[in-house]
Structure 1
Amino acid sequence: MSLYKSLFKQTLIYGLATVLPRMISFLLNPLYTDVLPKQEFADVSIVFAYLVFFNVVLSYGMETAFFRFYNLEGTSDSELAKQNKKKVTSTATISIFWTTIVFLFSSLLFRNTLASWSNIKVHYITYTIWILAFDALATIPFSKLRAEKKPMAYAVIKIGNVVINFTLNLFFLIVLPKIATNPDSFFHTIYFENFQVGYIFISNVIASLLTFLVLSPNYFKIKWSFDFTLWKKMLHYGLPILIAGIGFAINEHFDKILLDKFHISKDDIGAYSACYKIGMFMVLFRTAYTLGIEPFFFSHADQENAPQTYATVTKYFVITGSFILLFVIVFIDILKMLLVPNPSYWEAIKVVPLIILANFFLGIYTNLSVWYKLIDKTKIGAYISITGAVITLVLNYLLIPKFSYYGSAIATIAAYGSMMFISFYLGQKKYPIPYEINKIGAYLGISITLSALSFYIPKFRESYIFGILALLIFAYYIYRNEKQVVLKILKRK
């Protein structure tokens, strides 16, 4: 049990580093919907979709490659191992540093062309370029904290970033307009009317800059030596991760861009983007879990019982995710009032169950994908991700004209579901893991069924009696089937 407790503690801390900032970010959702018209909220969502896409490009799989080679090189307690770890750190850091510098100056040089191509205002493009650059430069320092098992430092910096961003948003959008009325004051000089979207991006630039400055000592501590042979190995390992990441970005965020390209009204895109946030509860769980599980998978790959360990971890991921799925859908009408208090946005609430389930499928896929990372066949992950991206693009192309943003939600769940099944099928052939398929299927099936009944049957949705009973029944079912493990955790044995 100590193995799982260690994973649980790391996941909990990484979860706090993810959940707390996201919970703070959730507060921005009602703020934005109050301050911004739906059209401008849509603009923000579209720009951030591009930002996620280019974040993946600028890290080009080096983060995952860093973990792989950091744990692979040398013997854990030897002096040689320490030197190898330093070599991996310096090579990855130098690689990210110079590619980011090239991106920064070339993008600034051609920012007008980028603005024209994307139909985004040039100053928004400029802010986005700086955000991307600072975030890319923080990639390896953050990875090093995770590899050295310093989750508290990681959490403090991550939370600090979002607290600063949140505070600046409040200042620029709420406080500044009230204190800038005096023409002779300093605040009047930094206040511009109808510049709310610009202030949102400025807040992000400042937060990313401060985060980079906190992590910048890492650049002075490393020995600036570049191992070209090692770099080629890391690049070879990481490039398929890049392709997979691009596929992920397409599946996760490209729908906002495609909706805009298909000339769906900005009002609809704004409503869809706002209600999409409610589905982020599953994203929080999945992201926190991924941060803790990736180093765990690699560090335990050589153990004899590794396949059984991976199977057990996956089962408990499904159990937890299934409960989250049911809980969010049961209380969806309460959550929408907290996260999207403007009723004009609620027309898109129907997509939330699909978004939550889609992200759950993606989390299961993350578990199932361990096999190709451990046998250094990351290109298979790229193929699977490309398949998901193709499904996303094709279904969006077919469904958006008929069903608008609901078609995008259907495309997302189809893409992630396909990726999940493909990875399971191939993984059992290349790296068999004894998953408890019957139990996993039962937990998932019961959760989906109870969620569907709770959401789609009006009588059940109007009264929380059915939903609460469903949660209690499902909790008892989990306890009955996992009683021994639950009791061990509660008793800290």
Structure 2
Amino acid sequence: MHHTVKTLGKETIIYSISNIIVRGCSYLVLLLQTNLLTPSAYSIITEFYGSYIALGHVIYDLAMDVTYLRFVHRLGKSYTFNAVITILLVTSFIFSILLIVFIPQIAKLTNHLVHIRYFYYMTGILILDTLLMIPLARLRVEKKTFEFLLVKFLQSFAHIIFSFVLLYCPICLNSIAYWISNGLHIQIALNELDAVFIANLLSSVTALALLFAQFQGFYWVWHGHTMAMIGRYATTSFFTILFFKVNETLPLLCFRKLVPNNFYTTHTKEEILGNFGTSCKLTVCITLGIQAFKYAAEPFFFANSDRKEAPRLYSQTMYVFILVSCFCLLLLSINVDWIAKILIPNARYRYTIDTVPYLAFVYILLGIYYNLSTAFKLSNHTQYNTWISAWGSLVIGLTAFLMIPRFGHWGCVYASMSGAVAMGLLGYYMGQRCYPIPYPKQGFLILLFTFLVFRKIPLWRTQLAFLGIGWSYICLHTTILILFSILAVIWKKSTKLKK
């Protein structure tokens, strides 16, 4: 069993390294954007990518990546790949036609009539990313880690190059406008925001070209029984993922509408939204690990579901996840000030960095819920996932409605945290009824302890100021390292005793 957990850990580390490289490239793109755009202009990027494109991905993807992982071993790699790709090609075409037809109404509803062309860019991004999804999932299933990492890296590197060229070489952007004018007979003046979307489109095209070999031998599959079976499983997973994504995006989606115009004395609410969107990206060290864990854990959970010791295996996985996540959160809380100065050199974007540890804590809670939701997947009660996610959306919506007008961007934090806590508690209760897993209670105590500690870290830094900045940081880091080392040793000894 320890060997199996170690294998999962190794795969998580591999994906973490790849994600660090990819996110490092994304950070460079962020630097290029924030160096040129004002916080008010960047708020448009935050809203489109943080809300509209994020939700669009869920609708276009239709949970087919999870469905592919579920059926690939049952129906065969080639057949499952072709069946899922067939579904996505048909649905993407339908969704894109509907989206293009209703873009004027959507732009009016979201108060973005001035930015209506960005919705057309969004459509292209959604189509390309949907086509990339299953080939990347196929590489994960086939354990072609190097190929997976290479594609992700080259896509990210292309994003940097295209962003730099389009943002800082106006002649290139003007050339694209000239091509659109002559080729499509549409007169348009492109700006820096256009460059952001176009760079994304071009990087996705690059990744699709690299994965073109995955589509060789593709044939249409439309067998009624297969499609019905895939559709039944995907439907429940789709609504679960949809509500889950609504939980993430709803506070940002509501921010501009709920915050009064004169709420902030020194900033406009658009500038705060741009700041807050940047702060969300500073949780990168936590979100990277959780995303890497998901990449490795999805095949792992399904592959080990038939083993007798599976419940205890999942219990150990949860404890390790909490231990590592909490350790990283405390390190982030201690160092967030100087990390922000390095990663966001433009001081205009550092107004909301005090929210970063709380945002990271929310992602950890969602990662814990992801572990808990394993019980629903393995017991074929995935509908509970949907209802719990819907419950989280309701809690977040109500909290956002009450908190955002009163607390501004902190209301977004409170809403997200309340929804994650509600989902975690209900997920634990329902999961134990469907598929009992003996989760170690000390893991949840560590989580509570971490929350209480990181809220006091700014106070501790003040109280240890007499040691000097350097020694106070050393003292805090050493204390956390010793504490979590002791917890890890105790866990290792207890698991040996249980064998």
TM-score (ref. length: structure 2): 0.88
Return the match for 1:447 from 443, 446, 450.
Answer: 450
Q: Which range moves more in the overlay, 28-37 or 129-138? A: 28-37
User: What pairs up with 1:5-154 in 2 under 5 angstroms?
Assistant: 5-48=6-49, 49-73=51-75, 84-120=76-112, 121-154=115-148
Verify: 1:472 aligned to 2:478, yes or no.
Answer: yes
Task: Evaluate the alpha carbon distance shift between residue 456 and residue 6 of structure 1 in structure 2; reply closer, same or farther with a 3 A threshold.
Answer: same
Task: Evaluate the alpha carbon distance shift between residue 456 and residue 100 of structure 1 in structure 2; reply closer, same or farther with a 3 A threshold.
Answer: farther
Task: Using the TM superposition, give the Cα deviation of residue 228 of structure 1 relative to its aligned residue in structure 2, in angstroms.
Answer: 2.0
User: What pairs up with 1:61-460 in 2 under 5 angstroms?
Assistant: 61-73=63-75, 84-120=76-112, 121-174=115-168, 176-177=169-170, 195-262=191-258, 265-438=269-442, 440-457=443-460, 459-460=462-463
Q: Contact conserved, 2:388 with 2:427, CA < 8 A, in 1?
A: yes
Distance 1:461 1:135 in 2: 49
Alignment partner of 1:474: what SS?
helix
Task: Using the TM superposition, give the Cα deviation of residue 99 of structure 1 relative to its aligned residue in structure 2, in angstroms.
Answer: 0.6
Distance 1:345 1:92 in 2: 42
Distance 1:429 1:275 in 2: 38
Alignment deviations for residues 92-134 of structure 1 (CA, whole Å, 9 cap, x no partner): 1111111112222332344333333333322211111000001
Task: Evaluate the alpha carbon distance shift between residue 388 and residue 186 of structure 1 in structure 2; reply closer, same or farther with a 3 A threshold.
Answer: closer
Alignment partner of 1:347: what SS?
coil
* Residue type of the alignment partner of 2:231: L
Distance 1:276 1:225 in 2: 41
Alignment partner of 1:331: what SS?
helix
In structure 1, the gaps of 5 or more residues are 74-83, 488-493
Distance 2:412 2:298 in 1: 29
Q: Which range moves more in the overlay, 121-130 or 461-470? A: 461-470
Distance 1:203 1:347 in 2: 27
Task: Using the TM superposition, give the Cα deviation of residue 466 of structure 1 relative to its aligned residue in structure 2, in angstroms.
Answer: 4.2
Alignment deviations for residues 359-410 of structure 1 (CA, whole Å, 9 cap, x no partner): 1111111111111011121111111111111111111111111111110111
Task: Evaluate the alpha carbon distance shift between residue 297 and residue 187 of structure 1 in structure 2; reply closer, same or farther with a 3 A threshold.
Answer: closer
Distance 1:268 1:314 in 2: 36
Distance 2:458 2:299 in 1: 37
Q: Contact conserved, 2:100 with 2:120, CA < 8 A, in 1?
A: yes
Distance 1:289 1:141 in 2: 19
Q: Contact conserved, 2:68 with 2:84, CA < 8 A, in 1?
A: yes
Distance 1:160 1:354 in 2: 32
Distance 1:18 1:464 in 2: 30
Task: Using the TM superposition, give the Cα deviation of residue 250 of structure 1 relative to its aligned residue in structure 2, in angstroms.
Answer: 1.6
In structure 2, the gaps of 5 or more residues are 181-187, 261-268, 494-499
Task: Using the TM superposition, give the Cα deviation of residue 464 of structure 1 relative to its aligned residue in structure 2, in angstroms.
Answer: 5.4
Equivalence for 2:497: none
Distance 1:137 1:414 in 2: 35
Q: Contact conserved, 1:39 with 1:266, CA < 8 A, in 2?
A: yes
* Residue type of the alignment partner of 2:61: S
Alignment deviations for residues 10-31 of structure 1 (CA, whole Å, 9 cap, x no partner): 2122223322111221223333
Alignment deviations for residues 236-262 of structure 1 (CA, whole Å, 9 cap, x no partner): 112122112122222212322211222
Task: Using the TM superposition, give the Cα deviation of residue 453 of structure 1 relative to its aligned residue in structure 2, in angstroms.
Answer: 2.0
* Residue type of the alignment partner of 2:270: K
Alignment deviations for residues 154-211 of structure 1 (CA, whole Å, 9 cap, x no partner): 111112111111221112222x04x679xxx969968997700100000001111222
Alignment partner of 1:482: what SS?
helix
Alignment deviations for residues 65-108 of structure 1 (CA, whole Å, 9 cap, x no partner): 111112344xxxxxxxxxx3332222111111111122223323
Q: Contact conserved, 2:358 with 2:413, CA < 8 A, in 1?
A: yes
Task: Evaluate the alpha carbon distance shift between residue 17 and residue 190 of structure 1 in structure 2; reply closer, same or farther with a 3 A threshold.
Answer: farther
Q: Contact conserved, 1:364 with 1:420, CA < 8 A, in 2?
A: yes
Task: Using the TM superposition, give the Cα deviation of residue 443 of structure 1 relative to its aligned residue in structure 2, in angstroms.
Answer: 2.6
Q: Which range moves more in the overlay, 426-435 or 344-353? A: 344-353
Equivalence for 1:76: none
Equivalence for 1:77: none
Task: Using the TM superposition, give the Cα deviation of residue 472 of structure 1 relative to its aligned residue in structure 2, in angstroms.
Answer: 2.1
* Residue type of the alignment partner of 2:120: T
Distance 2:428 2:490 in 1: 27
Distance 1:381 1:403 in 2: 30
Identity of aligned residues (%): 23
Q: How many residue pairs are counted as aligned between the two chains?
A: 471
Task: Evaluate the alpha carbon distance shift between residue 401 and residue 161 of structure 1 in structure 2; reply closer, same or farther with a 3 A threshold.
Answer: same
User: What is the root-mean-square deviation in Å for CA atoms of aligned residues?
Assistant: 2.4
* Residue type of the alignment partner of 2:218: I
Task: Evaluate the alpha carbon distance shift between residue 5 and residue 336 of structure 1 in structure 2; reply closer, same or farther with a 3 A threshold.
Answer: same
Task: Evaluate the alpha carbon distance shift between residue 122 and residue 187 of structure 1 in structure 2; reply closer, same or farther with a 3 A threshold.
Answer: closer
Q: Which range moves more in the overlay, 43-52 or 336-345? A: 336-345
